[in-house]
């Protein structure tokens, strides 16, 4: 049967297993929206307040479900508004398919109204992108886009479709759901080399990155830890890959990581990195970090091996398959000295505990933990609140921590939380700051319209806290443009959007508000007052090494 390009697009999306599209209509994608109308029984569309929010929602959907998120926007400004969302997905390896309309092929390149070269703009921030030149290519392009977005190291793919391709007709034949490229384990010789290093090590440490979540290798990572008697730490992206309360788990390491994990990470004689990229936020000073240790690095993306730190053995391959093979070559270990050192570090960490009686960032998250079910997705924005959340949130299930790690996108959380809730059908939580929330709070409108069960916890300190912290520590307290001094009343704002909320300034107040929020229909905004001089500790100062943590103020 002959169908129009826009019908083919929507039918192909359905065929690829896409059940929801996040987006915003406009002139050059009107035909596609007409097809969405036609097929609305089979595919749902969630209208955002701004295209950026839609892109983050598709991202949050993908992170929470593991299925590719789909976002749609019109040409020109619609397309450019996706850019931050696409870049966020790229830096965190999130599978996403972004679809943009464009002006007709005949006028492409003539600076028409709302024309932008979006494939050019997104070239460095997509895994791949397409400009569809003819309707005959459309269905296969969409299928290939899903394959590329989800295969190997996942990432965003953009498809730009000019208007004439949306209206042109051609034969459509239903195809199958996308297939990922075949997974493969690392080469046997590399696995043998890695096993030799690990068998010799006295102080092994397992560094879990986001790859453990995307390749579904949590069990293998835990089996490895048990076999070789090693502690486990993670990067921001690795949070929720293993249960927080697992006895071997020390938490996030790095610039604002937990005390025990950061020290153990730097004292280890063998780091086994699973799907992480040794980002500067993870390693601190790299030259100091690599001294006296071997590095075994497994990643599906070969370009990560020896990119940031020189590997002793670099293994390119799927984590799950590679670990399966590696586990068979390893000798079971008992490392009492290393284990007692870890115990000692954990004890030292306990001494750094927070005040559980007053309302502060740590006690707030501690209270919130009590309300989370094992399926609750928790999104964050970027800044101090994000680090507190990363340090203190407790997870049992993977894919439940949704945070912009690589790009560090303030304003990510609102859209992402909506997408995560839509994808999982669960009540989602957004932990944000007053600065980050200010960036994309317009998506409250979306959450209200779609009755998204969403708990928004704003850690409101009236300042851009993370930047202020740096100004305090490294810029002689020159608080340049970080004291907001805004008069925004977030509860009134929530009501204005059709949501509800309240202000809290005590711990019992917060507990009560959360109780209301977690049984509220639709979004509920909690404006939680915290001190403007709260800081995130531990902290590795810029250029510093992980064994030289600042653990509290004034050190």
List, by residue number, the catalytic residues.
Answer: 51, 113-114, 163, 466
Q: Are strands 69-73 and 96-102 parallel, antiparallel or unpaired?
A: parallel
- Write down the least CB distance from residue 124 to another protein, Å: 5
Closest CA to 545 of 231, 205, 264, 255: 255
Toward another protein, which CB reaches closer, 93 or 424?
93
Toward another protein, which CB reaches closer, 407 or 429?
407
| Angle, CA 91 vertex, CA 206 and CA 394 arms, to 5° | 50
Which residues contact another protein (rule: CB under 8 A)? 119-120, 123-124, 127-128, 131, 133, 148, 301-303, 305-307, 310
Toward another protein, which CB reaches closer, 93 or 436?
93
Helices and strands (H, E) in the chain, number of each type: 24, 20
Taking the C-alpha atoms of residue 211 and residue 94, their distance in angstroms, rounded to an integer, is 10
Taking the C-alpha atoms of residue 434 and residue 453, their distance in angstroms, rounded to an integer, is 20
Closest CA to 440 of 60, 21, 32: 60
- Both tokens of residue 488? 């925004």
Report whether 455 contacts 524 (CB < 8 A).
yes
- Both tokens of residue 136? 């005959």
Count CB neighbours of 362 within 10 A: 16
Report whether 534 contacts 272 (CB < 8 A).
no
Closest CA to 8 of 129, 110, 134, 139: 139
- Write down the least CB distance from residue 148 to another protein, Å: 6
- Write down the least CB distance from residue 136 to another protein, Å: 15
Greatest Cα pair distance, the chain, in angstroms, is: 73
């Amino acid at each position: 049967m002959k169908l129009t390009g826009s019908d083919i697009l929507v039918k192909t999306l359905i065929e690829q297993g896409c059940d929801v599209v996040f987006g915003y209509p406009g002139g050059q994608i009107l035909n596609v929206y007409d097809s969405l109308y036609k097929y609305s029984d089979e595919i749902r569309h969630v209208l955002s307040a701004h295209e950026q929010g839609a892109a983050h929602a598709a991202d949050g959907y993908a992170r929470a479900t593991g299925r590719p998120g789909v976002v749609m926007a019109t040409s020109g400004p619609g397309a450019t508004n996706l850019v931050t969302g696409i870049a966020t997905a790229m830096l965190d390896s999130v599978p996403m398919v972004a679809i943009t309309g464009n002006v007709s092929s005949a006028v492409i390149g003539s600076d028409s109204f709302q024309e932008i070269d979006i494939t050019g703009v997104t070239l460095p921030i997509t895994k791949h992108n397409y400009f569809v030149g003819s309707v005959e290519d459309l269905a296969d392009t969409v299928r290939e886009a899903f394959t590329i977005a989800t295969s190997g190291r996942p990432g965003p793919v953009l498809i730009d479709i000019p208007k004439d391709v949306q209206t042109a007709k051609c034969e459509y034949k239903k195809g199958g759901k996308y297939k990922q490229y075949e997974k493969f384990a690392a080469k046997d010789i590399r696995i043998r080399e890695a096993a030799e290093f690990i068998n010799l090590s006295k102080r092994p440490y397992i560094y879990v990155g986001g790859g453990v979540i995307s390749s579904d290798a949590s069990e293998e990572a835990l089996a490895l830890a048990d076999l070789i008697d090693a502690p486990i730490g993670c990067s921001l992206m690795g949070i929720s890959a293993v249960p927080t309360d697992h006895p071997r788990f020390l938490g996030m390491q790095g610039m604002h990581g937990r005390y025990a994990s950061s020290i153990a990470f730097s004292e280890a004689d063998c780091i086994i990195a699973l799907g992480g990229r040794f980002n500067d936020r993870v390693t601190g000073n790299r030259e100091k970090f690599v001294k006296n240790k071997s590095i075994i690095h497994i990643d599906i993306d070969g370009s990560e091996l020896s990119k940031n730190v020189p590997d002793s053995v670099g293994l390119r391959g799927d984590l799950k398959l590679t670990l399966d093979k590696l586990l068979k070559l390893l000798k079971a270990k008992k490392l009492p000295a290393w284990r007692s050192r870890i115990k000692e570090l954990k004890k030292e960490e306990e001494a750094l505990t927070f005040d559980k009686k007053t309302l502060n960032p740590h006690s707030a998250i501690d209270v919130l933990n009590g309300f989370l079910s094992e399926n609750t997705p928790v999104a964050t924005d970027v800044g101090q609140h994000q680090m507190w959340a990363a340090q203190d949130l407790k997870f049992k299930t993977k894919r439940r921590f949704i945070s912009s790690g690589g790009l560090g996108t303030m304003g990510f959380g609102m859209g992402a939380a909506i997408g995560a809730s839509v994808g999982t059908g669960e009540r989602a939580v957004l932990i944000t700051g007053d600065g980050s929330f200010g960036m994309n709070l317009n998506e409250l409108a979306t959450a209200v319209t779609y009755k998204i069960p969403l708990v928004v916890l704003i850690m409101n300190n009236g300042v851009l806290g993370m930047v202020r912290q740096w100004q305090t520590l490294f810029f002689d307290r020159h608080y340049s443009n970080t004291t907001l001094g805004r008069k925004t009343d977030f509860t009134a704002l929530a009501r204005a959007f059709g949501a509800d909320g309240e202000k809290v300034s005590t711990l019992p107040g917060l507990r009560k508000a959360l109780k209301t929020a977690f049984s509220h229909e639709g979004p509920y905004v909690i404006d939680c007052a915290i001190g403007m001089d709260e800081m995130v500790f531990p902290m590795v100062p810029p250029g510093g090494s992980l064994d030289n943590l600042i653990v509290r103020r004034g050190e």
